[in-house]
Structure 1
Amino acid sequence: MATANKQGRDDGNAPTQDRRRFLARAGAGAAALAGASVWAQGKPPLGPPSTVTTPPRDFGPGAPPTTYFWDPDVIAVDPSFNDLAQPNAAIQRLWTGAGWAEGPAWNSVGKFLLWSDIPADRQHRWIEDDGHVSVFRAPSNNSNGNCFDYQGRQISCEHLTRRVVRYELDGSITILADRWNGKRLNSPNDAVPHPDGSVWFTDPPYGAQLYEGTPDPAGGKSNRAGRLNNRIGQPAGVGDARQELPTQVYRWDLSGRLDAVVVDDKVPNPNGLCFSPDFKKLYVASTGPAGKGDIHVLDVGTDNRLSNQRVFSDCMVDGVKCGPDGIRADVFGNIWAASNAGRAVGYNGVTVWNPEGKLIGRIRLPEVCGNLTFGGPKRNRLFMIASQSVYAVYTATQGAAPS
């Protein structure tokens, strides 16, 4: 019978090996070769091309295969990641053509992926059976984050109208939140449902950009000089709101009550958020020029009050700031975070952190990754929304919660 070391790997002395561990070990070696491979003196790379080879990997549908036992852009920083990644699965680009894609959500009943194209003011849908992509909703009020609650209803964060809405099963729309203490919200960004029926969401100011919504009226925080016309291209009466609130995290209750649960910029520019599998921790990403580029974690009490805020990760990898955006937890409590490293080739994509905040894996993409979610019939496929495109890779784990 084979014996294994503390990392769960075969010790090499056994006559037989578990197939999956063999693939992981072989794949890790191939990935290491690919990561170091470059064109040198006209010689081809030692392994399949990746995002960091010269020339870089082609992600197009007609590109040559790059995966033998491990995708060269799926990197195990720590051996524990070998149990989460799928050795014989390749990263696939499913679609491209967005202005700025965001807010992926998986519909388990319809078996489709939904996401927002914020500047195009629409939502798209990718259907799993044939890979067909169509416009799902237009206009979308420059929607950003989306999710499906535990009753299967779609929830969307709208930049233009500065509100969170729910699409009911009969096709009607319910406004869940647009004001707090009588003041308009900034631009709700990302939302997650809770089994108790509540919806938790972040409210940074990104919707006040000309590209992703509408700027404040003259004199407002995003239009101090008043040179931008906030009404151009907008319906009458839309676009006149201005930033009145600090950037906060909110909890909407079934009673209709809205509470600020992370207040007064305690997490500057809160963006992506997710719960731990047991809902006892809330993770919040701080993003953008005014953010800290890190992930915070808070304890969730039985009364839904948050406490013990601390930094979960500074999101520094090899001295490169991999700014987090959307985040999701898997069933083991690992946090999968979208990575925006700007022009640092090889660091855009996804970073994966264990529950203690240790980096254990990375997924490299050729574009900045803005958000991600687990989906597919088994909830084991990671969908990555990256700038203009949608990527996916199968994993050996599952998302902790729907959408």
Structure 2
Amino acid sequence: MTDPTVHDHGPTETKEAILSRRRLIHAAGLGALAAATGPALAQSTANRPSPPTTVTTPPRDFSRQGAPTTYFWDPDVIALDPAFNGLAQPNAAIQRIWTGGLWVEGPAWNAQGQYLVWSDIPRNRQMRWIEDDGHVSVFRAPSGNSNGNSFDFQGRQLSCEHLNRRVVRYELDGSATVLADSFDGKKLNSPNDIVAHPDGSYWFTDPPYGGQLYEGAPDAPGGPSNANGKINPRLGQPPGIGLAKRELPTNTYRIDPSGRVELVVPESQVPDPNGLCFSPDFKRLYIASTGKGPGDTGPGGKGDIHVFDVGADNKLSNGRVFSDCMFDGVNCGPDGLRCDVEGNLWASSNAGRNVGYNGVNVFNPAGKLIGRIRLPEVCGNICFGGPKRNRLFMAASQSIYALYLGTQGAGPG
């Protein structure tokens, strides 16, 4: 029997399924199409009308000026298992708190300053949203085409810079420290995301996505992301940029408290690593493996999530696939990852043009999908924040979305 508290949206098989997308929008507002999450994602909802979705006509207005959802549960917050009902907040709605970016990434919450910072990668800047009045301003420019950001246990901001191929830490006195820019004497590719460990170490991923014009700088002529040399990577860049060539595989690294950089997960185990996070007890490390990047010669990532056991000596073992992120035949490509205090994993979802599958997927520690948050834009990264750390911030393409929850995020950043 279906639990009446589970607010899912089941599949509908009608003759309209063979109609074109445009005719289906006209006939049913696409409510049935986007609400249909298939047997793998939903329970039966017989005799229950499908609520509005992210593809309603006219489109839902997610801004603060938008009309109320009129539903006790936001129609785009979907429980697929009763366990999710204790994590979501029934009377809270998804809100778009800012828009106007080109490709926003790396949201991170500063608990002391009560503000959210994120990267607008192509514009080479970081933005800041202040909790008390919602004011948004440029926080740091240039930012080295920064991608992932986080805060460590001392409240210092950590940033992964595509352009400069390095990881930096902004100190409390306002100075900046380069934490890593090479491994074994070779320049890093384009550090992507970073997380702090209580022992004082930092763990980061190093895929090649910054090796493109839009988000950083391609290799010097002859390098993997500029093999034919037709692109001039020095145009519009400061001196010294555009001279490097990719030298390393796509690995995951650890910076120990002494500053030594060590390889923890090679490309052979997790190709094109992207977002990463620890479980609340730091006994697990999750890593998202994304698609093939510029200059990749191998098959690249498959759009899945991997998990490793973390030993007392920080050695990883028992690596395995946590989720293939395939739902209804759609690859909901993972990017940014965060855990809540219960150990559930929240993963941003990039499903491309598969409307209704972009947003956030929520897994229990066993890897079962228990909930979804649908957004009208591709979601690249997420973080928990707010004074109580019970608000999920979602960096989605050109906008920042926020949703109050019934749980809290684990750890800083």
TM-score with structure 2 length normalisation? Answer: 0.88
- Aligned equivalent of 2:195: 192
8 Å contact from structure 2 (residues 252, 264) kept in 1: yes
Shift of 1:41: 7.8
Once the 2 structures are TM-superposed, how far is the Cα of residue 39 of structure 1 from its aligned partner? 6.5
1:210 matches 2:232 = no
Which residues of 2 match residues 3-402 of structure 1 at below 5 A? 25=5, 28=7, 40=27, 49-289=52-292, 290-402=300-412
Q: Which amino acid aligns with 1:277?
A: P
CA distance in 2, matches of 1:278, 1:144: 26
What secondary structure, in the 3-state scheme, does the structure 2 residue paired with 1:82 have?
helix
- Aligned Cα RMSD in Å? 2.2
Are the structure 2 counterparts of residues 41 and 325 from structure 1 closer, same or farther at C-alpha, using a change threshold of 3 Å? closer
Q: Distance in 2 between matches of 1:61 and 1:378?
A: 21
- Matched-pair contact (CA < 8 Å) for 2:304–2:323: yes
The one-letter code matched in structure 2 to 1:49 is P
Letter in 1 for 2:154: Q
SS class of match (1:208): coil
Once the two structures are TM-superposed, the CA of residue 38 in structure 1 deviates from its matched residue by: 7.4
Inter-partner Cα distance in structure 2 for 1:119 and 1:40:
39
The answer (yes or no) to whether the contact 1:104–1:147 under 8 Å persists in 2 is yes
Supply the AA of the counterpart residue of 1:87. Answer: P
Amino acid corresponding to residue 303 of structure 1 in structure 2: D
Greater mean alpha carbon deviation, residues 66-75 or residues 147-156: 66-75
Hey, what's the Cα distance between the residues in 1 that align with 2:149 and 2:398?
17
SS at match of 1:297: strand
Matching residue's letter, 2:385: G
1:16 alignment partner in structure 2:
none
Classify the secondary structure of the residue corresponding to 2:277: strand
Q: Is the 8 A contact 1:39 1:53 kept in 2?
A: no
Query: Do the aligned residues in 2 keep the contact of 1:67 with 1:89 (CA within 8 Å)?
Result: no
Determine the C-alpha separation between the residues in 2 that align with 1:40 and 1:144: 41
Alpha-carbon distance in 2 for matches of 1:393, 1:271: 23
- Aligned-partner residue type, residue 151 of structure 1: Q
Structure 2 CA distance for partners of 1:41 and 1:182, relative to 1, 3 Å: closer
Aligned-partner residue type, residue 7 of structure 2:
A
Question: Contact 2:96 / 2:399 at 8 angstroms: preserved in 1?
Answer: yes
Measure the CA separation in 2 of the matches of 1:165 and 1:282.
22
Q: Identity of counterpart residues, as a percentage? A: 71
Q: CA deviation at 1:265?
A: 3.4
CA contact (8 A) 1:39 1:55 kept: no
SS at match of 2:334: strand
Return the offset for 1:40.
4.5
- Contact preservation (8 Å) 1:161, 1:239: no
Asked if structure 2 preserves the Cα contact closer than 8 Å seen for 1:298 and 1:306, the reply is yes
Q: What SS class does the counterpart of residue 250 from structure 1 fall into?
A: strand
Supply the distance in 1 between the matched residues of 2:67 and 2:361 (Cα, whole angstroms): 26
Q: d(CA) in 2 for partners of 1:125 and 1:360?
A: 31
Aligned to 1:15: none
* Superimposed CA distance per residue, residues 96-125 of structure 1 (whole angstroms, 9 cap, x where no aligned partner): 011100000000000000000000000000
The answer to whether the 8 A contact 2:333-2:349 is kept is yes
Q: Secondary structure at the match of 1:28?
A: coil
Task: Output the CA distance in 1 between the equivalents of 2:76 and 2:125.
Answer: 31
TM-score, structure 1 length as denominator?
Answer: 0.90
> Is the Cα contact below 8 Å between 2:7 and 2:80 reproduced in 1?
no
Letter in 2 for 1:272: G
Q: What per-residue deviation string (whole Å, max 9, x for no partner) do you get for residues 137-182 of structure 1?
A: 0000100000010000011000000000001111111110001000
Shift of 1:56: 3.0
Q: Which amino acid aligns with 1:114?
A: V
Q: Distance in 1 between matches of 2:138 and 2:242?
A: 24
Cα deviations across residues 260-288 of structure 1 (Å, max 9, x unaligned)?
Answer: 10013320100000001100010000002
8 Å CA contact 2:63–2:97 kept in 1: the answer is no
Report the Cα distance in structure 2 between the residues aligned to 1:131 and 1:250, rounded to whole angstroms: 36
Query: What's the secondary structure of 1:81's corresponding residue?
Result: helix
8 Å Cα contact 1:49/1:56 also seen in 2: no
Q: Which runs of 5+ in 2 are unaligned?
A: 15-23, 33-48, 293-299
Aligned length: 379
Which one-letter code corresponds to 1:333 in the other structure? G
